[in-house]
Amino acid sequence: MLNLLLLLLTRKKKLKSLEQQVLEIQNGDERALEELLQSYHPFIKKTVSSVCKRYIYESDDEFSVGLIAFHEAILKYQPEKGSSLLSLAEVIIKRKVIDYLRKNNKDNNISIDSSYATEQDDDSSTNLIENSISLENYEKEKERKARQEEILQYQQLLATYDLTFEDLIEQSPKHEDARVNAINIAKLIAEDDGLLSILETKKRLPMKQLVEKVHVSRKTVERNRKYIIAVTLILTKDFYYLRDYLKGRIDT
């Protein structure tokens, strides 16, 4: 979701470093563990989804498996080895989810590198994980740079609509149903050439035409105006990574 993305973009200003949090957790801080697990729910869902090939909800058993695997990665993480926590977590989550699916006969056609497909917890398994991480680091670094560039381009596009990330953090809908409604309105604009043309030309929502097509009040649309514009831009431009944050929400 967009609001989660924006919070992630600014978390360095508000939270302790990830390494500090992990150290506190490894020293027994249960509150730090709960906060870290909660903040990385989107990452866990995305990783589990990449194995299951479908959108994952937090009520799914597969998500619970991923959550436990992320916890395991936190406890195993050793920053001195040079890899990132998220790289380690991704490998462990994928391995655990594959094991779960196979043991429960939920998917007999999983195709993935065999290095993910063992549940042994001995030294050889740990080495296998570390080798997998080292092979993936180059691609992950390329992806990280591409994501940073995309976020910068998005920030520049927002500026042409007189919007900033800070605006969106402050004015994003606080409730799930409000966010879903706003995203569906953005989708409507994205799929309507006339509405989209007005937005792109005048840099504002086509309020009069829009309220005739939606089942919410003008006041509600105006209250969520900035969020709707921001989501519409993601849906209509080449923002591959940002669109990924909206998967599973657009058709709600």
Task: Kindly report, residue by residue over 27-69, the tens digit of the pLDDT.
Answer: 888 888 998 898 899 999 999 998 888 888 889 999 999 999 9
State the Cα–Cα distance between residues 139 and 84, nearest whole angstrom: 14
Q: Please give the pLDDT value at position 3.
A: 53
Confidence of residue 93 (pLDDT cuts 50, 70, 90): very high
Say if pTM beats, i.e. exceeds, 0.95: no
Q: Please give the pLDDT value at position 251.
A: 44
What average pLDDT is seen over the chain? 80
139 versus 62: which is more confidently predicted?
Answer: 62
Q: Please give the pLDDT value at position 70.
A: 94
20 versus 136: which is more confidently predicted?
Answer: 20
Q: Please give the pLDDT value at position 204.
A: 92
What Å distances lie between residue 73 and 68, 69, 159, 163, 219, CA to CA? 9, 6, 39, 38, 46
27 token code pair: 């020293």
Confidence of residue 195 (pLDDT cuts 50, 70, 90): very high
State the Cα–Cα distance between residues 98 and 48, nearest whole angstrom: 9
State the Cα–Cα distance between residues 250 and 121, nearest whole angstrom: 39
Q: Which of 4-13, 139-148, 189-198, 241-250 has the lowest mean pLDDT?
A: 4-13
Read off the pLDDT of residues 206-251 as tens digits, 9 standing for 90 and up: 998 988 888 888 998 999 999 999 999 999 988 888 887 766 454 4
State the Cα–Cα distance between residues 233 and 199, nearest whole angstrom: 10
243 token code pair: 């669109």
Q: What is the CA radius of gyration of the chain?
A: 20
